Structure 1
Amino acid sequence: MSKHSLQELNELVDRFIVLANEINGEKNSPYLVSAALMSASGLYATFATSGNEGYLTESGIDKVVTAYRMELVRWQAIKKAEAEKQGTQPPDEQAKG
């Protein structure tokens, strides 16, 4: 994130969320949309680091996984703080699966 600001990142995230919501509105399941976003992101992460013809080595995969984990943890902390501020509880994950 050193080259770009958090504001720039959030603006791009918002654009992807708008697109995901449009795709979801086409009667696609949120789980399918999420899986497609993750798959596209993985492919794009490969392109960003290795170009069109390259691929990630095991250590490259580990770096991408670590980056994904850090972002997921960051967003969950934000979501948790918002939920606690509103006094809401997280849904039971077992009930969804």
Structure 2
Amino acid sequence: MSDQETEFAEFTAVAERFIALANEIKSEGKPLPLVNAALMSASATYSTYVAAGNQGYLKPSGVDRLVDAYRAQLANIQEIKRKAAESSGQKTTKEQ
């Protein structure tokens, strides 16, 4: 396995742990919008910490860079889901 494949496998495993925790919280009866908002807030808090340290904060340009990174990740996930839906014969989309 290449270093890139190993890194992707680790990335996937960590992401799956976050999803499992979110699903566990959902199964405790918490509403999906609450779980989603809390997960997004935690991600924003941690992203700020990674970029600026524990006592720091982001200037608007830093916020823009994080929004762009999130947008790219979201687009990547949607492309993966689109391909999976098409390969299974699904054509369902939902735009918000």
Tell me the TM-score normalized by structure 1: 0.86
What letter is aligned with 1:55? Y
Distance in 1 (CA, whole Å) between partners of 2:61 and 2:81 is 30
Task: Tell me the C-alpha RMSD between the 2 structures.
Answer: 1.7
- 2:34 is equivalent to residue 20 of structure 1: no
What letter is aligned with 2:41? S
Distance in 2 (CA, whole Å) between partners of 1:30 and 1:49 is 28
Q: Percent identity?
A: 46
What is the aligned counterpart of 1:30 among 25, 29, 32? 32
- The alpha-carbon distance between structure 1 residues 78 and 92, as it changes in their structure 2 partners (threshold 3 A), is closer
Distance in 1 (CA, whole Å) between partners of 2:32 and 2:91 is 21
Offset at residue 13 of structure 1 (A): 0.4
1:1-20 correspondence runs (5 A):
5-20=7-22
Offset at residue 28 of structure 1 (A): 1.1
Where structure 2 has 5 or more consecutive residues not aligned to the other structure, the ranges are none
Deviations 1:20-72 (A, max 9, x none): 00000011111211111101000000001111100011110011000000000
Where structure 1 has 5 or more consecutive residues not aligned to the other structure, the ranges are none
Paired position in structure 1 for 2:89: 87
Paired position in structure 2 for 1:45: 47
